Amino acid sequence: MQTALINGRVLTSRGAIEECAVLVEGGRIADVVRRAHVPADAKTHDLGGRLLLPGFVDSQVNGGGGMLFGDNPTVEILRTIAQAHAGFGTTGFLPTLISGELKLVRAAIAAVDAAMEAGVPGIIGIHIEGPFLNRNRKGIHNAANFRPLDAEAFDVVTSFKRGRTLLTLAPEQTTPEMIGKLAAAGVIVAAGHTDATYAQARAALDHGLRGFTHLFNAMSPLRAREPGVVGAALDDAASWCGIIADGHHVHAATLRIALAAKGAAKLMLVTDAMPSVGAPTKSFVLQGQMITVRDGVCFAPDGTLAGSDLDMASAVRNAMSLMHVHLAEAVSMASRNPAAFLGLSDEMGTIGRGQRANFVVTDDALAVSQVWIDGRPV
């Protein structure tokens, strides 16, 4: 039997449409039709005039609900993180592991594989952030865990087959040929925590580098005579840029400059979320350091930013207010764009026939009231 979501304002590629219904069957969107064309035998779900948005896709989630993925990667920890972020509209995400030993990377991959096999809602792959990074741009990462991207490491990071694998590395810590080999093996490669020159970043892009992790943060900046990684990211029309729109990691004017350079279609909202998201406790331990959340910002004892306390619904609201974009563009940065970056455009990111039935129901202030994943409310 089909379920018809009715009496809502449906955000499609043509904008918010009233007097239409979304038909759901078997976890997929069967069709988007006028209200008068809903089948008589369909089970109806009244949205009460609220907005129906495509589910948000977040490619960088370290933790949530009081749990940190890298602490002890298990199915139950992933389930808790997924539930925490679903409450803010995230219907697809990559659990993110920051730099650790290869045995921890193996354990993280095994946990994500088991969680997907168990049907934990929302998990679509894994983001391995490091340990092939530059200590000069380490941020909160423990440089003691950094290592070369050798044959053993290649075998580990290419071993996950059930979902998407996103690998953040510093291009100057490996070779363009290795980046090409990773891309050929199906790994989505992004640059981050990098001190590469423009030329090094450009060579990586030419060999399969697909995007940039938290643009502007932990990477060589744009300068007059050395454009750096930021310059390479803004100059390249094909690549994607993740960006943390929390009002703290990147200045509002800098966000708008990125928007002007890249265009809304190539920017992706990410949270870089830590355990404090969706949790009452606003402190946690990360790689032996006590992290404290103050005014919505996660700080290490020395003042280093340590991920974020950001959720995706807030990121969308911030994109609208800080970047001066309208609702459809902000939502695309949180849904369609990351889905396209991950090669999942045929699965998620928009509300259209054949897509997975992943939805966020909100009021006009983007307060989340309902979330659907694969046709089921969660």
- Residue-wise pLDDT for 341-363, tens only, equals 999 999 999 999 999 999 999 99
**Which pLDDT belongs to residue 290?**
96
Nearest-10 Cα torsion for 246, 252, 258, 261 = 150
pLDDT at residue 330 tops 90? yes
**Which pLDDT belongs to residue 199?**
98
Q: Return d(Cα 297, Cα 283) in angstroms, integer.
A: 11
Q: Are strands 376-377 and 63-64 parallel, antiparallel or unpaired?
A: unpaired
The answer to whether position 288 is within a domain reads yes
Q: Return d(Cα 276, Cα 309) in angstroms, integer.
A: 6
Q: Number of structural domains, the chain?
A: 2
The answer to whether position 348 is within a domain reads no
Interhelix angle 176-184/198-206, nearest 10 degrees = 30
What is the SS3 assignment for 164?
A: strand
CATH code: domain of residue 249:
3.20.20.140
**Which pLDDT belongs to residue 15?**
78
pLDDT category at 249 given cuts 50, 70, 90 is very high
Considering the domain architecture, whether residues 153 and 35 belong to the same structural domain is answered as no
Catalytic residue among 272, 309, 311, 374: 272
Considering the domain architecture, whether residues 283 and 194 belong to the same structural domain is answered as yes
Cis check: omega of the bond before 131, within 30 degrees of 0: yes
The answer to whether position 116 is within a domain reads yes
Considering the domain architecture, whether residues 254 and 363 belong to the same structural domain is answered as no
Mean pLDDT of the chain: 97
pLDDT at residue 13 tops 90? no
Considering the domain architecture, whether residues 235 and 291 belong to the same structural domain is answered as yes
Considering the domain architecture, whether residues 285 and 182 belong to the same structural domain is answered as yes
The 10s digit of each residue's pLDDT in 288-311 is: 899 999 988 999 999 999 999 999
Which whole number is the average pLDDT over 125-150?
Answer: 97
Considering the domain architecture, whether residues 123 and 43 belong to the same structural domain is answered as no
The answer to whether position 206 is within a domain reads yes
Considering the domain architecture, whether residues 9 and 116 belong to the same structural domain is answered as no
The answer to whether position 199 is within a domain reads yes
Helix (H) or strand (E) holding 268: strand 267-269
Considering the domain architecture, whether residues 136 and 44 belong to the same structural domain is answered as no
The 10s digit of each residue's pLDDT in 156-209 is: 999 999 999 999 999 999 999 999 999 999 999 999 999 999 999 999 999 999
Which whole number is the average pLDDT over 326-351?
Answer: 97
**Which pLDDT belongs to residue 295?**
87
Which whole number is the average pLDDT over 225-253?
Answer: 98
Considering the domain architecture, whether residues 22 and 146 belong to the same structural domain is answered as no
> CA separation (Å) from 363 to 48, 49, 170, 188, 369?
10, 9, 41, 35, 8
> Is 272 an annotated catalytic residue?
yes
The answer to whether position 337 is within a domain reads yes
Cβ-proximal residues to 278 (8 Å cutoff; 6+ apart), any chain = 64, 65, 66, 83, 84, 85, 87, 88, 311
- In this prediction the pTM is 0.97
The answer to whether position 315 is within a domain reads yes
The whole domain housing 8 covers: 3-53+354-377
Considering the domain architecture, whether residues 229 and 326 belong to the same structural domain is answered as yes
**Which pLDDT belongs to residue 12?**
79
The answer to whether position 87 is within a domain reads yes
CATH code: domain of residue 20:
2.30.40.10
> For 13-163, where are the E strands, in sequence order?
15-25, 28-34, 43-46, 51-54, 56-61, 63-64, 67-68, 90-98, 125-129
**Which pLDDT belongs to residue 23?**
97
The 10s digit of each residue's pLDDT in 102-124 is: 999 999 999 999 999 999 999 99
Considering the domain architecture, whether residues 32 and 151 belong to the same structural domain is answered as no
Query: For residue 307, which amino acid is it?
Result: G
pLDDT category at 14 given cuts 50, 70, 90 is confident
Considering the domain architecture, whether residues 41 and 122 belong to the same structural domain is answered as no
The 10s digit of each residue's pLDDT in 21-76 is: 999 999 999 999 999 999 999 999 999 999 999 999 999 999 999 999 998 899 99
Taking a C-beta distance cutoff of 8 angstroms, is the pair 374, 357 a contact? yes
Which runs of consecutive H residues, i.e. helices, occur in 133-206?
A: 151-157, 176-184, 198-206
Residue with more model confidence, 287 or 87: 87
- Give me Rg for the CA atoms of the chain: 20
